[in-house]
Amino acid sequence: MEYEYANDTLFPIIGKLNSSVSSTNKFLKSPTADFILKNIKYVNSIIDNVEIKFESVSQINGNIKVEPHFANLMSGRYMPNNVASEISQLNTCFVISYKSINPLHISGYFTIYSPYNNNNKNNNNNINIKNNNKYFNYILVLAKEIVARILFFNTVLATNKIPNLCIFLTTQKKVMPKQNTVFAPEHINSAVTDGVSIVIYRHEEVLKSVLHELVHYYGLDFNPNTYPTHYIQQYLAGYNLTTTQDCQIRPSEAYTEMLANIINICMINSNSQKNIKKQLENEIRFTMFQASKIFKHLKYKSTRDFHVNTHSPSRNTKTKTKLNTLTLHQDSHVLSYYIIKSAMLCNIQKVFETMCDPGIPIKFVSNNRNYSDLDNMIIGNLSVNSKWSSDINNLLDIINNSDNWRKVPAFFKKTTRMTLHE
Virtual torsion, Cα 354, 284, 234, 297, nearest 10 deg? 180
Indicate the pLDDT class of residue 315, thresholds 50, 70 and 90: very low
Are 151 and 159 in contact by the 8 Å Cβ rule? The answer is no
Q: What is the pLDDT of residue 130?
A: 60
Distance CA 56, CA 175 (A): 34
Q: At what angle do helices 251-268 and 206-217 cross, to 10 degrees?
A: 130
Which percentage of the chain shows pLDDT scores above 90?
A: 83
Q: What is the pLDDT of residue 82?
A: 95
Which pTM value belongs to this model?
0.94
Distance CA 256, CA 221 (A): 6
What Cα–Cα distance (Å) separates residue 122 from each residue in 129, 134, 229? 15, 21, 59
Mind listing the pLDDT tens digit for each residue in 169-186?
999 999 999 987 899 999
Indicate the pLDDT class of residue 120, thresholds 50, 70 and 90: low
Edge to edge, what strands does the sheet with 51-59 contain?
A: 51-59, 92-100, 106-114, 164-168, 197-200, 191-193
Q: At what angle do helices 206-217 and 133-157 cross, to 10 degrees?
A: 30
- For the chain, give every domain's residue range: 2-414
pLDDT at 5 over 50: yes
Please choose, from the candidates 127, 179, 151, the residue with its C-alpha nearest in 3D space to the C-alpha of residue 42. 151
Distance CA 225, CA 99 (A): 35
Q: What is the pLDDT of residue 45?
A: 95
Mind listing the pLDDT tens digit for each residue in 349-399?
999 999 999 999 999 999 999 999 999 999 999 999 999 999 999 999 999
β-pairing, 197-200 with 241-243?
unpaired
pLDDT at 309 over 70: no
Phi then psi dihedrals of residue 151, to 5 deg? -65, -30
Indicate the pLDDT class of residue 129, thresholds 50, 70 and 90: low
What mean pLDDT do residues 47-62 have?
93
pLDDT at 332 over 80: yes
The average confidence (pLDDT) of the chain is 92
Q: Which of 126-140, 201-215, 284-298 has the lowest mean pLDDT?
A: 126-140
Q: What is the pLDDT of residue 80?
A: 95
Which percentage of the chain shows pLDDT scores above 70?
A: 92
Virtual torsion, Cα 357, 361, 365, 371, nearest 10 deg? 120
